Amino acid sequence: MKVHITNVSGLAGAAGNAQQRVTDIARRYLYVNVLGIFHYPVESDTPEMLRTRLDGILAAISHGDTVIFQLPTWNDIKFDEAFAARLGNYRGVKKIFFVHDVPPLMFENTLGWLGRYIDLYNLADVLIVPSREMEEYLRSNGLKVPKIVVQRMWDFPVEIDQTIVPCFRKRINFAANVTSNYRPFVREWNHDRVELAVTANPGDYEWAKGRNIRFLGWHNNDNLLADALRKSGGFGLLWQDCPWWKEYMKLNASYKRSACLAAGLPIIVSSSTAETEMILRKNLGLVVDSLDEAVDRVASMEEGQYRKMVEDVGKFAQLIQGGYFTKKLLIDSVFRLLYD
């Protein structure tokens, strides 16, 4: 039996990085064969062109093989459905669907598409979901796949300078594009006791004037981002103003959460987000109900308490830096498929 994994090339941003990371770990450590999919507008294909394209992608598949399908491809659900259907025509092939994101839950006014996505997921023999909360939500909306593996955390394999230890500072770091994307809490930051550090190049921003805001620079490279966060010290923040996205954060696995932890920073998350129990149990940061509470707790924190968090985060970060969450979930998925 061979194990294959899909990988979408030409897909930019965090979605593309996530697929590539999973693929790199699967190929390097688990000797999985890669099925390349190009990111393109599926509407440009006629039905015959699409069939030919899919047959080319699946040419290496043999009887009894296992295919890990990373979803979504962002080629539109029409492509994902066609791929799954074509895969189903191969006798004896077993299907593991790895759900990175659920598009109908990510965008406002798209919830009506959820049933179609769940129908797609129900074609899997094993389904990998971001969190237990996501599994429960999908099951309440018609998911019937009996074998589930929960991801819990993204890996963020970066090289860390262990001689640099995050400093105890009354500082909260927010890694996001705050110049192009409007973030109300950033623009309205009015906390003198705690500094907000954002990943943006220094500039004469009107919204930052007179506010306790520091600029860390913009980093497209993950190693540079992790290095900047580690040198900055303090805490990493996972936060959203958008009500729709806040709801999604209750269900998904956050890439930014892993970036901060991989850099060695304790994190601050909302009490409504997924995996808060693990964060508290492992002493990885603060779980709060509001930003005001976060500021108060950072402002009143003692250095010894922070140092213990940094120590505990450092141990946990080795899993994220080494790709161990991905290795484990892929191996667990094959075991769920063939052993359980």
Binding residues for UDP: 254-259
Could you tell me whether strands 195-198 and 213-215 are parallel, antiparallel, or unpaired per DSSP bridges? parallel
Question: What does the alpha-carbon distance between residue 93 and residue 130 come to, in Å, rounded to a whole number?
Answer: 24
In the annotated binding site, the residues are 254-259
Question: What does the alpha-carbon distance between residue 174 and residue 198 come to, in Å, rounded to a whole number?
Answer: 5
Question: What does the alpha-carbon distance between residue 324 and residue 19 come to, in Å, rounded to a whole number?
Answer: 16
Q: What distances in angstroms separate CA 181 from CA 42, 99, 117, 149, 187, one per listed residue?
A: 28, 26, 28, 34, 11
Q: CA nearest 274: which of 105, 157, 61, 46?
A: 105
Q: CA nearest 308: which of 291, 335, 286?
A: 286
CB atoms closer than 10 angstroms to residue 198: 24
